[in-house]
């Protein structure tokens, strides 16, 4: 009788081990077969969600005073590189053709006072723009600026850096509200802003790609 019971126990244990092994192998092969497809699909979805568009998109949000605009482009470099170019304030004159003076007057943490002089051209006419800016940096994400002096009534906006392509590229957006303190026909201001903002963004993007 004891021998019979021992044999029965051995049979039950063997059956239990067989069932457990079958379940384990079933789950193991499920992971091997299906996990790579899930990973591949997630990578492809990321590429689809964040395509790179290196053209400059420009639009006026408001055509009356104060004028407001938005411009953006995608740059195939990480945000840190774009940030370093934008915040190298004392050397903006090295590569921005309209910029004649760019000088940091004061820096306290992420708060900066910046003086700039630019010379803008339209047909046979030119005008020197002088502005003092209060700048607030949010490192690697945003640069806010607001007029603190000069011959403009309003000059405020933001540079916004958004990482795309899992950080391999940057979507750069420029927002501006603008009103001069001197008389200028609106159509001239619109034409000049459209041309010079596009050119500035293209130069920054080209410098970042180097």
- Given this model, what pLDDT does residue 121 score? 79
Nearest to 92 by CA among 124, 115, 109: 115
Q: Nearest CA to 204 among 58, 57, 73?
A: 73
106 has pLDDT over 90: yes
Q: Among 66, 59, 85, 74, which residue's Cα sits nearest to residue 143?
A: 85
3-state helix, strand and coil shares in percent for the chain, rounded to the nearest 5: 40, 40, 15
- pTM for this prediction: 0.76
Q: What integer pLDDT is reported at residue 156 of this predicted model?
A: 98
pLDDT at position 141, please?
98
- Residues 6 or more apart in contact with residue 169 via CB below 8 angstroms: 50, 52, 74, 75, 76, 77, 78, 163
Q: How do residues 132-168 score in pLDDT, each as one tens digit?
A: 999 999 999 999 999 999 999 999 999 999 999 999 9
Q: Report the chain's mean pLDDT, rounded to a whole number.
A: 83
Give the span between the Cα atoms of 74 and 88, in whole angstroms.
20
pLDDT of amino acid 63: 94
Is 201 exposed, middle or buried, given 0-12, 13-18 or 19+ CB atoms closer than 10 A? Answer: buried
Band of the pLDDT at 95, cuts 50, 70, 90?
very high
pLDDT in tens, 30-54: 333 334 433 344 334 344 456 889 9
Closest CA to 117 of 98, 100, 103: 100
Q: What is the pLDDT of residue 85?
A: 98
Give the pairing of strands 111-122 and 99-108: antiparallel
First to last CA, the chain: 87
Asked if 63 and 136 touch (Cβ cutoff 8 Å), the reply is: no
- Does pLDDT of 102 surpass 70? yes
Which two tokens mark 204? 């920054």
Q: Which of the listed ranges 2-6, 39-43, 94-98 does the model predict with the highest average pLDDT?
A: 94-98
Report the b/e string of 148-180 with b at 16+ CB within 10 A. eebebebbbbebbbebbbeeebbbbbbbbbbbb
9-27 average pLDDT score: 44
**Containing H/E element for 109?**
none
- The stretch 177-201 carries a mean pLDDT of 94
Per-residue confidence (pLDDT) for residue 50, from 0 to 100:
62
pLDDT at residue 51, rounded to an integer: 83
Q: How many CB atoms lie within 10 A of CB 79?
A: 21
pLDDT tens for each residue of 58-78: 999 999 999 999 999 999 999
Calculate what percentage of the chain has a pLDDT beyond 70.
Answer: 75
Beta strands 152-164 and 142-150 are: antiparallel
């Amino acid at each position: 009788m004891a021998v019979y019971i021992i044999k029965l126990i051995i049979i039950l244990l063997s059956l239990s081990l067989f069932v457990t092994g079958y379940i384990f192998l079933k789950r193991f092969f499920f992971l091997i077969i299906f996990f790579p497809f899930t990973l591949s699909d997630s990578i492809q979805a990321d590429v689809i969600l964040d395509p790179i568009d290196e053209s400059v998109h420009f639009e006026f949000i408001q055509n009356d005073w104060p004028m407001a605009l938005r411009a953006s482009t995608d740059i195939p470099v990480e945000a840190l590189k774009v940030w370093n170019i934008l915040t190298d304030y004392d050397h903006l004159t090295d590569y921005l053709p309209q910029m004649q003076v760019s000088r940091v007057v004061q820096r306290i943490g992420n708060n900066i006072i910046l003086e700039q002089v630019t010379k803008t051209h339209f047909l046979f006419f030119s005008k020197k723009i002088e502005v003092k800016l209060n700048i607030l940096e949010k490192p690697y994400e945003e640069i806010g600026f607001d007029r603190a002096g000069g011959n403009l009534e309003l000059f405020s906006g933001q540079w916004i850096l958004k990482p795309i392509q899992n950080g391999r590229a940057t979507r750069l957006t420029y927002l501006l509200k603008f009103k001069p303190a001197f008389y200028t026909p609106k159509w001239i201001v619109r034409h000049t802003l459209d041309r010079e903002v596009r050119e500035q963004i293209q130069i920054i993007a080209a410098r970042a790609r180097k």
